[in-house]
Homo-oligomer: A and B are copies of this chain.
Amino acid sequence: MNSAPDILRTYKLKSTSTREEVLSLLLENDHALSHADLEREMTTDCDRVTLYRTLKTFQEKGLIHKVLDDNGLTKYAPCTACTKENHKHEHVHFKCEICGNTVCLENVQIPVMKLPNGFVAEEKNILITGICNICNKK
């Protein structure tokens, strides 16, 4: 189990309280977090701008990835299935219409799809909307 400081070191990023907390929050939560979510949950005082830059850096270095959303809001989740060298390019996300949470369905395989001639796929993202397991129990 890697802690936030360990991961930062692995990716050659300086450890700061902001970075550690952002990364920890993303790792702890089972669903993707938006900039606003993070700002709300952070205990460390941190400028909005710093948060944007932190997320951008993490994304560029490959620690986290953007999560598709049906409205415009950008959410982020850690690249748990990716190693530093080998980046995974297939993501299945489920967004619950009730609680609004978006979770990564790590165990769902993307089936092979035959594309029309001439199209070459690089990355595949699936966004399924519906009702999640927690909201279905209520």
Copies of this chain assembled into the complex: 2
Q: How large is the interface on A (under 10, 10 to 19, 20 to 34, 35 or more residues)?
A: 35 or more
A68 CB contact (under 8 Å) in B113, B114, B116, B127: B127
A116 & B105 in contact (Cβ 8 Å cutoff): yes
Quick check: is A115 within 8 A (CB to CB) of the other chain?
Answer: yes
Query: For the complex, what is the distance from the CA of A109 to the CA of B46, rounded to whole Å?
Result: 46
| A120 adjacent to B116 (CB under 8 Å) | no
Question: Are the C-beta atoms of B108 and A114 separated by less than 8 Å?
Answer: yes
Binds B, one of A20-28, A76-84, A129-137: A129-137
Given contact pairs A72-B74, A115-B105, A131 touches B125 in the complex (Cβ within 8 A): no
A100 nearest CB across to chain B (Å): 14
Partner of A70, one of B66, B97, B128, B133: B66
Cβ-closest 3 pairs across A and B: A118-B133, A111-B111, A122-B130
Residues of A within 8 A of B (CB): 66, 68, 70, 72, 74, 92, 94, 97, 105, 107-134, 136-137
